[in-house]
Structure formats: structure tokens, C-alpha cells
Amino acid sequence: MTVLSTQRDVDALTLTFVADFDAPPERVWQVWEDPRQLERWWGPPTWPATFPRHEFRPGGRSSYYMTGPDGTQAWGWWRIVDLDKPRRLEYEDGFADDKGEPTGELGVTRGVVTFEDLGGRTRMTSVSTFESAEQLEQMVQMGMEEGMRGAMGQIDELLAESRV
């Protein structure tokens, strides 16, 4: 598994994941940039994601849904705040209706992902910042921590395919 650590900081209202990958930052960046690659890892293994819309540029919007084992769909949205390819990405994330429009349910989370070059390898650090301790706790209770660990654990296989 590539995830090295997970840290929940209620005082800072953050949930942080640190993962290392055997690929340079430019390649790891692509698993965020390309919607077909993103679909292969964003959802946990039992809740795969589909991105009908993915405008990977500052101000761009994305809509996605994850499909559960019973066919249930959970919709979400992103608004890309800032990109510094291949070093940093910042986005807002929230729940959406079945058209990909924000619902306001459980508020908005801000994600910042950094890609550190480790000499041909990449350390990816993902920090989600919440609006309140209650929102953080609700998201953890819904399985966000385990879900993100499982989702990020799928990136290695995707990266290995490009080395074959």
C-alpha cells in the first residue's frame, strides 16, 4: 500500500494523507488530470467513480458519482481553485445532486494536494480542510478516511501500467 500515513487534526480541522509512488510527479499528476485515469482510483474499490465532467483548470468544474455495490450513486462536485502543474492542486469539494450541481449538504471541503519530487519518485500529500469539527467528524463517520486510503491504494496499479 502506498499510503504512508493518515492524520486527523480536529484543532486544525484537517485530514491529511501522505503517500509515496514509484513515478515522477509529472506522471502522478496525470492520475488527477485525466478523467479516465481519475475514474480508476478516486472512489474506494467497492465504490468506483465516474466523471461525466472534468474541467481541470483554475475555475473549472467537475462532477462525479461513485456507484456502490447495490447500484446506489453518491454524487459530488469539485471547483478547481488553483493548479501549479505538477507541484500543487487546490480544489473545493462537496456533495451534488444527480445532475452534478452542489446541494450544500455537509458543506464544502477544501483540498490541497502537493507533489514532491523524490528523485524519480513522488510523495503526494493531500490535505482536506473542513468548515467545522462537526463536518470533519461526520465525514469520518461516513467512511472518508478509510475510503481515501482505499482509493489512493489503487494508484500504484495504474502507474505500473504505464511502465510496462
- Could you tell me which of 72, 79, 74, 80 has the C-alpha nearest to residue 96? 74
111 phi/psi in degrees, rounded to 5: -110, 135
Query: Residues 26-82: pLDDT tens digits?
Result: 999 999 999 999 999 999 899 999 999 999 999 999 999 999 999 999 999 999 999
Top-level class of domain 3-163: alpha beta
pLDDT of 164: 44
Residue 24 grid cell = 515522477
pLDDT band at 1 (very low <50, low <70, confident <90, very high): very low
Q: Which of 15-19, 87-91, 109-113, 147-151 has the lowest mean pLDDT?
A: 147-151
The total number of residues written for the chain in this structure: 164
Percent of the chain with pLDDT strictly greater than 90 = 88
